[in-house]
Structure 1
Amino acid sequence: MSDQYTFKVINETDLAITELWVSLDDEDWAEFELGESGIPSGETVTIAWAEYTNDSPCEWYICATFEDESESDSAIFNFCEEPALVFS
């Protein structure tokens, strides 16, 4: 059995998500590795948390950067309760 925690990201925008960022305090941000293609428009991907976050709180700020370099607003997301994060 794996102790790795995952969540789904659903991209309902017209642009690919090229970067996905999380923060506990909305100031210090860490980036998820999305690979070269990022998250294409219309796609759903499963992303794994790094093992060092296993004892972290449930609520994190999250934001995305898109292929045109625009950014979503940061929002608090409860990763313990919500199985999927939708960008629309």
Structure 2
Amino acid sequence: MSDQFTFTVTNQTDLAITELWVSVDEDEWLPFTLNDDGIPSGETATIVWAEYTNDSPCEWYISAVFEDESESDSALFNFCEEPDLTIG
């Protein structure tokens, strides 16, 4: 069994998601590495948490950046209870 924790992100917007950012406190933000296509409109991607987050809290703010460089509002998610997120 892997110690890597994952979650999925489904993009229900009209634009590709090019960046995903997370924060515990909305002050310090950390990026996730996405592939070159990001998360295209209508697609679902599996995202892997970095190993150093294994002992972190369940609740994180998440924000998406889209291909036109607009940003979503940050939203608080509990990744322990709901590992499948939908943006849009």
Same fold flag (TM > 0.5): yes
Summarize deviations over 1:38-79 as a string: whole Å, max 9, x none.
Answer: 000000011000000000000001000000000000011000
For the pair 1:25 / 2:25, whether they are aligned, the reply is: yes
SS at match of 1:76: strand
Instruction: Give the alignment of 1:1-88 within 5 angstroms.
Output: 1-88=1-88
Give the RMSD, CA atoms, in angstroms: 0.5
TM-score (norm. length: structure 1): 0.98
Amino acid in structure 1 at the alignment position of 2:29: W
SS at match of 2:52: helix
Give, in whole Å, the separation in 1 of the partners of 2:63 and 2:48. 16
Gap runs ≥5 in structure 2? none
Instruction: Tell me by how many angstroms 1:31 deviates.
Output: 0.2
Summarize deviations over 1:7-41 as a string: whole Å, max 9, x none.
Answer: 00000000000000000110100000002110000
Divergent runs of 4+, >2 A:
none
Give, in whole Å, the separation in 1 of the partners of 2:49 and 2:9. 13
Amino acid in structure 1 at the alignment position of 2:79: F
- What is the identity percentage for the equivalent residue pairs of Structure 1 and Structure 2? 74
Gap runs ≥5 in structure 1? none
